[in-house]
Amino acid sequence: MAKEQKQEPEAQKGDKAAGDSVQVQEAELPEADDRGAAGGAGQIDVLLDMGMPVSAQLGQVNLQVRELLQLGPGSVLKLDKQVGEPVEMFLCGTRFAVGQLVVVGEQLGVRLEKILTPAKAQKG
């Protein structure tokens, strides 16, 4: 009588030497606690002081290399947006808000007008 052989998936055939057997055991994992989930001093506090790159896109321009090399001090790049158009805000390269350009003292700023939902956010 011929001996029955179990067929192994192709990925496993080369992974084990002849005669090796695989033992499977259940792993017991401790229950997760929810100390940080609702207002407690949880591990998320570590993240709250981390810096994240936030950028504002005021507009864009497409230049030929010839035009780019002609730029110098005092050159003006005309962007594709007009005064009063919304400014897009990006967090780590993903659009997350829309705002308006404002002047605060002698610096530019953006007043956030709308925080976007994940469905409306997009990579920039």
Predicted confidence (pLDDT) per residue in 101-110, tens digit:
988 899 989 9
pLDDT in tens, 9-54: 554 455 555 567 888 888 887 776 655 455 555 678 888 888 999 9
Task: Please check the confidence at residue 8 and state whether its pLDDT lies above 60.
Answer: no
Range in 4-8, 30-34, 76-80, 98-102 the model is least confident about: 4-8
Question: Which pLDDT score, from 0 to 100, does residue 66 have?
Answer: 96
Q: What are the residue boundaries of the structural domains of the chain, listed by start?
A: 54-70+82-124
Write down the architecture of domain 54-70+82-124 according to CATH: Roll (2.30)
Question: Which pLDDT score, from 0 to 100, does residue 28 have?
Answer: 80
Question: Which pLDDT score, from 0 to 100, does residue 18 have?
Answer: 56
| pLDDT, mean over the chain | 80
Average pLDDT (90-103) is: 92
Question: How many Cα atoms within 13 Å fall on the side-chain side of residue 58?
Answer: 9
Question: Which pLDDT score, from 0 to 100, does residue 120 have?
Answer: 73
Structure tokens at 99: 């705002």
**Burial (CB count <10 Å: 0-12, 13-18, 19+), residue 57:** middle
The DSSP element (H or E) to which 57 belongs, if any, is strand 54-57
> Taking every pair of C-alpha atoms in the chain, what is the biggest distance, in angstroms?
94
Question: Which pLDDT score, from 0 to 100, does residue 71 have?
Answer: 94
3-state secondary structure of 122: coil
**How many whole angstroms separate alpha carbon 106 and alpha carbon 64?**
33
- Residue 87 in contact with residue 57, Cβ under 8 Å? yes
Q: For the chain, how far is it from start to end, CA to CA, in angstroms? A: 68
The DSSP element (H or E) to which 46 belongs, if any, is helix 45-48
